[in-house]
C-alpha cells in the first residue's frame, strides 16, 4: 500500500538527509534504506561525501546525492540550506526524513513545511554544547518544530528531554533496532576467537570492549579513569577501544599498557563476540546502538544512565548494568563485579540476546517508520 501510494512514476518515495555520515546515524539510515529497497520503494540519500554511508547506500542500489555540509552550523549555513533546497526541488521526494541535528536544521529551513518532513534528532542539538549555544539551540528547536510533520525520537527519554526544553511537536517514539541476522552470538567453541590485536592474550584474560567514536560524547576518558580503579581488583584485565575520532590522540597518550586501540572497524561483531563485557560510558545519547548490538551477540553490557539507556536494557538488568554518567568509581565497580561473576554474565548475555530479538529487531523499527510515512502523507494501510 505504501509503495503504490507514494511512488507513481520515478519520484523517490523517501529522501533521507543525513549529517553525520559515520557512526550510529549512518547505520540507522543504511538499515532503513535496506528495508525500503527490499520493499520495492525508491529511496535516496542526500549527505556529505566521505564516511561509510555513501558506499553502503550505493551498494544497495539507491541514489546518493552529494550535499556539501559541515557537521555544525557555521558561516556556510545559508549556502548549505540553499543547496539542499535546490536538491529537494530537483529530486521531488514524497517524504523527506532528516537525520541528526545539522540535517534537521538545514532541511527544515530549506523546506519550511512544503514537503512532508520527518525529523529524527538521534541526539538533541542542545546536548553536549556550551550554555549560550544550548540556549540558542533550544530556541531553534522550539521554533522549527512547526516545520516537521513528525519528530521521531529513539526513546521515550529523548522525547522527554525535548519536552523539557519546551519543544511542542507531533511526537512518535520508535526505539532503535539492530540487524539480528547479522549480530548473532558466536558458536560455543573454545578457545574463544580473538581478533589479531589481542590474539596474544591468555584465554583467561578478562576482556572489556568499548565500541564507539572516540569523542567526548562517548566518554572514553571517563572509562580510562575508571580503568585505573579496576586494575586494582583485576590487574590482568585488558580493555580495547574500537573506533576513531577527535580524541584518539589524547586518549592514547593517557592510556596504560593494558588498553589497546583497534581503530575504526567496519564490522565490530568479532569484538562483541570476543568480549567478556561491552561497556559504553556515554555522556549523552538518544538510544545507543552499541549496547543493542552487543546484547544481540549474547554479551552483557555496562552503560551509563543517559537517555535511552534504561529502555535499551531488559527488565531487571539496570541493577547490574547501569551506572551514573561521569562516575569513574561507579563504572569501575560495575565492570569489576561482572567480570568476577561469570555465571551472571552468561545469564545476562542470554537474556539480552532474547530481549533484542523480540524488542529491537531492525525490521520492527523499519516497519514503524513506514507507518509514520503513511501518516504524514495522509495514507492509511488498506
Please name the residues in contact with 236: beta carbons below 8 A apart, sequence gap of 6 or more: 204, 205, 206
pLDDT at position 192: 63
> Can you tell me the distance from the alpha carbon of 323 to that of 338, in angstroms, rounded to the nearest whole number?
13
Within a domain: 189: no
For the stretch 162-213, pLDDT in tens is 999 999 999 999 999 999 999 999 876 545 678 889 999 998 999 999 999 9
Confirm whether 12 is domain-assigned.
yes
Both 136 and 24 in one domain: the answer is: yes
| pLDDT value of residue 72 | 80
Which CATH number does the domain housing residue 80 bear? 3.40.50.2000
Q: What is the DSSP string of 125-155?
A: TTTTS-HHHHHHHHHHHHHHGGG-SEEEESS
Whether 28 is covered by a domain: the verdict is yes
**C-beta of residue 47 within 8 angstroms of C-beta of residue 54:** yes
Which stretches of the chain score pLDDT less than 70? 1-12, 188-192, 379-382
Structural domain contains residue 143: yes
Query: Same structural domain for residues 201 and 234?
Result: yes
Which grid coordinates belong to 254?
A: 593517557
Q: Evaluate whether residue 124 is within a structural domain.
A: yes
pLDDT score of 293:
98
User: What whole-number distance in Å separates Cα of residue 186 and Cα of residue 299?
Assistant: 10
The domain containing residue 337 runs over which residues? 196-359
Residues 224 and 259 reside in one and the same domain: yes
Same-domain pairing of 67 and 132: yes
pLDDT value, residue 189: 53
Say whether both 130 and 210 belong to one domain. Answer: no
Q: What is the pLDDT of residue 186?
A: 85
In terms of domains, do 124 and 146 share one? Answer: yes
Angle at 215 between CA 210 and CA 120, to 5 degrees: 95
Shared domain for 47 and 63, answered yes or no, is: yes
Same domain, 345 and 223: yes
**Residue 188 within any structural domain of the chain:** no
How large is the C-alpha radius of gyration of the chain?
21
The count of domains in the chain is 2
Is residue 311 assigned to a domain? yes
Q: In terms of domains, do 202 and 168 share one? A: no
| 221 and 274, same domain (yes or no) | yes
Which three cell numbers, joined as nine digits, stand for 16? 533521507
pLDDT at 382: 43
Specify whether 143 is located in the same domain as 247: no
pTM for the whole structure: 0.92
Q: Is the residue at 182 inside a domain?
A: no
pLDDT value for 380: 47
**65 and 103 together in one domain:** yes
Name the grid cell of 131: 550554555
356 vs 369: CA distance, rounded Å: 18
pLDDT value of residue 379: 56
Amino acid at each position: 500500500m505504501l509503495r503504490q501510494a507514494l511512488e507513481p512514476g520515478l519520484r523517490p518515495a523517501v529522501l533521507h538527509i543525513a549529517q553525520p555520515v559515520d557512526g550510529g546515524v549512518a547505520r540507522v539510515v543504511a538499515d532503513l534504506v535496506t528495508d525500503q529497497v527490499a520493499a520495492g520503494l525508491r529511496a535516496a540519500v542526500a549527505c556529505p561525501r566521505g564516511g561509510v554511508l555513501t558506499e553502503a547506500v550505493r551498494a544497495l542500489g539507491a541514489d546518493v546525492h552529494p550535499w556539501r555540509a559541515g557537521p555544525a552550523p557555521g558561516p556556510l549555513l545559508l549556502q548549505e540550506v540553499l543547496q539542499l533546497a535546490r536538491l529537494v526541488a530537483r529530486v521531488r521526494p514524497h517524504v523527506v526524513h532528516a537525520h541528526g541535528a545539522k540535517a534537521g536544521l538545514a532541511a527544515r529551513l530549506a523546506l519550511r513545511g512544503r514537503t512532508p518532513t520527518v525529523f529524527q534528532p538521534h541526539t538533541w542539538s542542545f546536548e553536549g554544547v556550551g550554555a549560550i549555544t544550548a540556549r540558542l539551540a533550544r530556541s531553534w528547536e522550539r521554533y522549527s518544530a512547526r516545520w516537521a510533520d513528525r519528530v521521531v525520537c529513539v526513546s521515550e527519554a529523548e522525547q522527554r528531554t525535548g519536552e523539557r526544553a519546551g519543544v511542542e511537536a507531533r511526537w512518535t517514539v520508535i526505539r532503535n533496532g539492530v540487524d539480528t541476522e547479522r549480530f548473532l552470538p558466536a558458536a560455543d567453541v573454545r578457545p574463544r576467537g580473538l581478533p589479531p590485536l589481542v590474539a596474544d592474550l591468555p584465554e583467561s584474560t578478562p576482556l572489556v570492549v568499548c565500541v564507539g567514536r572516540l569523542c567526548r560524547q562517548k566518554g572514553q576518558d571517563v572509562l580510562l579513569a575508571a580503568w585505573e580503579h579496576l586494575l586494582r581488583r583485576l590487574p590482568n584485565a585488558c580493555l580495547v577501544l574500537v573506533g576513531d575520532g577527535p580524541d584518539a590522540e589524547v586518549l592514547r597518550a593517557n592510556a596504560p599498557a593494558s588498553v589497546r586501540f583497534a581503530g575504526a572497524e567496519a564490522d565490530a561483531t568479532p569484538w562483541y563476540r570476543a568480549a567478556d563485557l561491552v561497556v559504553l560510558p556515554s555522556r549523552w545519547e538518544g538510544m545507543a546502538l552499541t549496547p543493542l548490538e552487543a546484547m544481540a551477540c549474547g554479551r552483557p553490557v555496562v552503560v551509563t544512565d543517559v537517555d535511552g539507556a534504561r529502555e535499551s536494557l531488559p527488565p531487571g538488568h539496570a541493577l547490574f548494568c547501569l551506572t551514573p554518567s561521569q562516575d569513574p568509581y561507579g563504572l569501575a565497580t560495575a565492570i569489576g563485579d561482572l567480570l568476577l561473576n561469570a555465571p551472571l554474565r552468561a545469564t545476562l548475555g542470554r537474556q539480552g540476546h532474547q530481549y533484542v530479538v523480540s524488542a529491537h529487531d531492525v525490521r520492527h523499527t523499519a516497519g514503524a517508520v513506514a507507518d509514520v510515512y503513511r501518516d504524514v502523507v495522509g495514507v492509511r494501510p488498506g
